[in-house]
Structure 1
Amino acid sequence: MDFRRCLTAEIIQSFYHSGNLGVTAESGNAPFPTRPTVPGEAGRTGGFGHTYTTPVVYYDSPEGHFRIWYTNNGADRPGVNLGVPSDSDNNGIPDWIERCSEYFEQSYQTAVVSMGYRSPPEDFSFSAQYTSMGLDHGGDGRYDVYIQDVGASIAGYTGPEQVVEGRILPSYIVIDNDFSGVKNTVPEALELLQATTAHELFHAIQFAYDVNEDIYWLEQSAVWMEEQVFDDVNDHYNYLSTFTGFLSESWLSLDTRNGQHEFAGVLWPLYLSEKYDPGIIRSIWELA
């Protein structure tokens, strides 16, 4: 299976680097990917996502930084294909949602509180623009995460929303509801969930600096952040067997994009942070 951990680069490439975006709130429409709570999502994303077809509920993380949206019915139900009880503690909240909340908050604590990165831009501060474009801002200032069946080949993505001009944009995250077809056990799925939450949250943080940064650096530094938050997971090892650019094909550019190279290129920020200091990665982003 051709598994793509993250589809954020494709979204940015299609809707930003191609020049197809650039709309403002006054235009009255949104050609960029919109949230699963907005009708017609599949038509705007080229298949990147879809609108929920069953009633949606949400769970606010206890620490208060995230609102996680999901449905209790249909193919989008959290953990639907994991083959284990979806609510093992019988508290009314699916285990997948509670783990998402836990992992996102851990990622926020590491990246923003401990390492000093900016928080993701708040969507609710642009509520008037969202409303005028017929979009959903999630109802408050918590960062919105949507759980749904993204597809067997994708773990998740972060969608920037150009409700204002400029390169600093609010966004939302979509995470697959069980990683079915990619991970066969609950522990494997939860490890991928850890890596994916850290990765996608860092994309949202990147959009507090420059949404138009080079794709290779967006992905390399997002994989690097996985290592800062969940050092024991080492999901990026899965890419190294396909990565030969620094090892045997030195003519390949650091910014090569082939669906693998830009992720396995995490060796570059790992080298920088180990040779100098992890703060060098934040310094690079502050100069973006």
Structure 2
Amino acid sequence: MGKFTLKLSVLFVLFYNLSFAQNQTTSSERPSTLAELLSLNDAPIKCGLPAFAHLLHINKDRKDEILAQTSRSTLPHSYVTPSGRFRLHYTLTGVNKIPAEITNNAGVPDWVYEAGLAAEHAHALLVDTLGFSPPPADNNIDGPEYDIYFKNLSLYYGLTYPDEIGGKAHPYLEVENDFSEGFFTEGLDAVRVTVAHEYFHAVHFAYAIRLDEFDEIFFYEMSSTWFEDRAYDEINDYYGYLSYFFNNPELPPFELPERVSPVDTRIYAIAIFFKYWFKNRDDIGLTRMWDNFRNMRGLEALETEINAQGKTFASALAEFYGWCLYTGFRAEPEKYFEEGGNYPMIKVIDTLQITQRSAVSAKTNALSAQYVKLNLTEGMVFTSIIENGPADGRIAVAGEKITGKLWDLSSGTSFKLGSSFNEGGALMAIVNGKIPQSQGQPYDTDDLRVVLNIKETDDDVTKFSLAPNPFKPGGAVETVAINYEAPNSGPVEIKIFSETGRLVWKKDTSNLFVETWSGRDLDGNFVPSGVYFVVVPEKNKNGSKVLKLAVVR
């Protein structure tokens, strides 16, 4: 991990309120150039693509005029990389001049030479290693190569233009000409990560040009931000965009940008979701996500790949928000974020003293989380379970050690902290994993109610039990409680078999220690009297535990 120096004292603030732009301005008052729009912010932007898409979005009646402003620059010098794949355009004079130092054998400025190496490196990783399709053809504009132009962008690192919207793209890149000051990363390192970031956007245009679907821009940006760090792990420019996310976990990081800002730092920070997902998985999975994105929404493309890997999106999201507890001095790079020690600490909205059975209710936006600190009586057994909320509601919880560090993470719809691990506290993320059902649908805010309980003992008899037993389906007690101890992350499967071995009921659940059964089989009918075998997961073991249940009709 390389050293990262933050040059700005604070992260840039949200610079433009789109609802104001759309509802309180006339067509003539709206920003009509990219520079005009970006000038509303007082700090550099990682990528100009979201602002460019926003510009098209709020000027639908002037789209042709906007596109006419994106013509390629004419610069006096160019350099073609040895592979013949890239042509880099530059000048040594005027407002767009680049640093002139030459120390390489090609005889061109290092600024250009190193950018060419970065472009070749990005292509090799994306196309040869990860299996992405190359960008659409350049259409022989300024030569057959892919073009990179160095310009005095000032307000943003770089931008990839598709050269056509709604049809076939002929992408080209613009990159800041000197990165002299005011950027989170400067000099040649800034060139390297920007070229990697923007070239991935060019590759994206081989899959989908969805700039008119403004709520899909997050998928472009989280992918490119993740990739620039995949290409140059030692540079870590993305650190500069994390604070807004960690300080505002209650705001959905995948949220429609137009509801908040045309350029929102969360769409860069959420790249760490891929840091979570690909830590223990092959990152070629991102290629499959982009294959999905050809015909799906971004969130649907994510969900499809996550489901293919045997996990629900809600469970993955809860686990991700749980990982966000392990940053700063709590970081455990072997288990969680590899660079988590350099990440901000997550914001906790409340601290609760738990001395008896109680509950916490949190209004939680879809795809976001609320974090609470729980103070517990040391040495007692603590449990929590979601009582009410959306089906995709989850909790991610970790017991807190006396040192302030955390025990291993547990995520699901319930949690249990044994007495030997209770050193007086726990941290909980209450997560709403609901995905909006259609493009443009507002993100819901749901009430999640979590019941908290603390007791003195937790013997093995109560860990694995059925109550009542015998059980009379349809009687005064409507369900039998199945108590068990599952591994630290869901979902898990519970099955019930008859004496003859016939499967009568099963359920995939994210509840980690209790589930209920009504006595009905898979067809919805009450089962007959007899002995039934309930198969439940067993914590820290590969096998399962079988509990015997008597059913009386």
Letter in 1 for 2:142: G
Alpha-carbon distance between aligned partners in 2 of 1:36 and 1:105, rounded to the nearest angstrom:
22
* 1:9 equivalent in alignment to 2:50: yes
For residue 112 of structure 2, what is the aligned residue in structure 1?
97
The answer to whether the aligner puts 1:144 opposite 2:181 as a matched pair is no
Residue of structure 2 equivalent to 1:279: 284
Q: What is the SS of the residue equivalent to 2:237?
A: coil
Please state whether the residue corresponding to 1:242 is helix, strand or coil: helix
Q: How many pairs are equivalent?
A: 243
Distance 1:221 1:20, change over 3 A: farther
Name segments (4+ residues, structure 1) moved above 6 Å. Answer: none
Contact 1:147–1:175 (CA<8 Å) still a contact in 2?
A: yes
Q: Structure 2 CA distance, aligned partners of 1:20 and 1:115? A: 39
Equivalence for 2:345: none
For 2:160, the equivalent position in structure 1 comes to 158
Contact 1:16–1:212 (CA under 8 A) maintained in structure 2:
no
The alignment partner of 2:245 has SS state of coil
Partners of 1:272 and 1:280 within 8 A in 2? no
Alpha-carbon spacing, 1:271–1:89, altered in 2? closer, same or farther (3 Å): closer
Match of 1:46 in 2: none
Which letter does structure 2 place at the counterpart of 1:31?
A
SS at match of 1:236: helix
Amino acid at match of 1:219: E
Name the SS for the 2:278 alignment partner: helix
Q: CA RMSD in A?
A: 2.7
Where do 5+ consecutive residues of structure 1 fail to align?
A: 24-28, 38-51, 80-84, 128-136
Q: Deviations over 1:54-87 (max 9, x none)?
A: xx121001122100011122221212xxxxx622
**SS class of match (1:173):** strand
Q: Distance in 2 between matches of 1:173 and 1:20?
A: 26
Matched, 1:34 2:71: yes
1:136-184, Cα deviation, whole Å (9 max, x unpaired): x1122x1000012112x21111111118x53x51211001111122259
Residue type of the alignment partner of 2:77? V
When residues 17 and 281 of structure 1 are mapped into structure 2, their CA distance, relative to the original with a 3 A threshold, is farther
Q: TM-score normalized by structure 1?
A: 0.75
The whole-number CA distance in structure 2 between the counterparts of 1:20 and 1:236 is: 35
Which residue matches 1:73? 93
The residue type equivalent to 2:123 in the other structure is Y
Change (3 A) 1:94 1:144: same
Shift of 1:31: 2.7
Question: How far is 1:266 from its partner?
Answer: 0.7
Q: Structure 2: how far apart are the matches of 1:264 and 1:229?
A: 17
Q: Which has the higher contact order (CA 8 A, sep 6+)?
A: 1
Q: Give unpaired runs (5+ residues) of structure 2.
A: 1-41, 294-553
1:115 aligned residue: 130
Structure 1 CA distance for aligned equivalents of residues 256 and 84 of structure 2: 38
- More helix by proportion, 1 or 2? 1
Which structure dedicates a bigger proportion of its chain to strand?
2
CA displacement, residues 115-138 of structure 1 (integer Å, 9 cap, x when unaligned):
1111110122xx6xxxxxxxxx11
- Report deviation, 1:215: 0.7
Identity of aligned residues (%): 26
The residue that corresponds to 1:267 in the other structure is: 272
CA-to-aligned-CA distance 1:74-103 (integer Å, 9 cap, x gap): 221212xxxxx6223585411100011011
